[in-house]
Amino acid sequence: MTNIRLRIAIESDRDAILKLLRSSFYPYEPTTLGLEPFQQTEEDEQFLLSWINYGTCIIAYYDDYDVYYNHKKQESYTKIYGNNNEDFKMNFLNHEARNQHNKEYHYNKHEMQKQQQIKGQNIKCNSNQRNQYDCSADDNDNSYHHHQNTNIIEEQQQKQTNTLNVNQILNQNIFTKELVGVLIGGPKYPGEAKHLLDESNSVKNLTWSKMLKFLSYIEFRSNVFEYFNCQSVIHCHAIAVHQNARGKSIGIKMIKEFIKICKNLKYPVITLDCTSVYSIKLCEKLNMVCLYEMEYTDYIDEHGEQILRPPLPHKLIKCFGKRTDDDDINNENDIKIF
């Protein structure tokens, strides 16, 4: 069974992260679905992707995800395969391809041993025997020199065949090209609420402007910095898990890893604004402090009209916080980890 791993996201993961956000985050995110035109804006996507280079975003992936993208970084697989590095090649191929590679490798090794035996017999032959052997070989088109030339041609053909096999593997999608989870996070400081409000007044996209005003509204009322008496925190902006990988506690595992990373970066607190019932349950399971909560029906405009109308069962937003040095961070309890 393929394992799921976690690591800090890097710039080369950008496309895979965006693909996962579009398939497994935005179509289910309550505030996105509660605000016309009921889909994310380009500004929203770029806002989340902008946090990748901070080193505070986490991806969850299958074992062979990195293998696939390492392959894509190479100029030519033929050049790689030409290197005499069996360990690299064995690690490069996934389970099914590795089995096929082993069969070919042992077959070629056996053929090489047979050829070496033939060469050894030629060396031991005396001059008369060698002449007789060469004459016989010439008659059968199997001379020693012909064997040498044939071996070179066979090696070149084998490299071309191996390269074609790997290209076929890539085309058949045996490699895992998709992430199974992503957590987007980044630092924030006192004055964040005012910054979001100012930004909302300067952007041209009306939907994104409304979203920024909502985030500013929540930030003002959660009062994170006063509650924790700190001057900086790391905020989790989004958590997404692929539809086919849900129910494996990937979200909890990513949050736990997120807390550890933030602690190593000397940030005393992490915060999350949970807009769905599922993310709320996630934070409650991790014993996070609820700093503020509000029902969506209470967020209204100057005319008393409800601004956000998320679909059921999502009825409220909760803002959570947690110190990164809490003693229960490493306590897994009964949580299933991959």
Q: What confidence tens digit (pLDDT) does each residue in 240-259 have?
A: 999 989 988 999 999 999 99
pLDDT at res. 326: 83
pLDDT tens-digit readout, 145-161: 445 555 555 555 554 44
Residues 190 and 286 in one domain: yes
Structural domain containing residue 108: 68-171
49 inside domain: yes
Residues 183 and 108 in one domain: no
Residues 183 and 45 in one domain: yes
**Is the pTM higher than 0.85?**
no
Residues 217 and 272 in one domain: yes
Residues 51 and 94 in one domain: no
Among 265, 311, 52, CA closest to 179: 52
What SS3 class is residue 319? strand
Average pLDDT, the chain: 78
Nearby residues of 275 by Cβ (< 8 Å), 6 or more positions away: 29, 30, 31, 310, 314, 317
The DSSP H or E segment spanning 113 is: helix 95-124
79 inside domain: yes
- Kindly state the DSSP code that residue 306 receives in the 8-state scheme: B
Backbone φ and ψ of 320, nearest 5°: -120, 155
Q: Has residue 125 got a pLDDT over 90?
A: no
Q: Mark which of 137, 152, 171 sits at the end of a domain.
A: 171
pLDDT at res. 135: 46
CA dihedral 119, 124, 128, 134 (to 10 degrees): 0
334 inside domain: no
Q: How far, in Å, CA of 252 to CA of 256, rounded?
A: 6
CA separation (Å) from 146 to 121, 136, 142, 265?
A: 16, 13, 6, 65
Residue with tokens 């804006």: 41
Q: Mark which of 155, 171, 187 sits at the end of a domain.
A: 171
59: domain CATH number is: 3.40.630.30
Residues 75 and 212 in one domain: no
Domain count across the chain: 2
Residues 74 and 138 in one domain: yes
332 inside domain: no
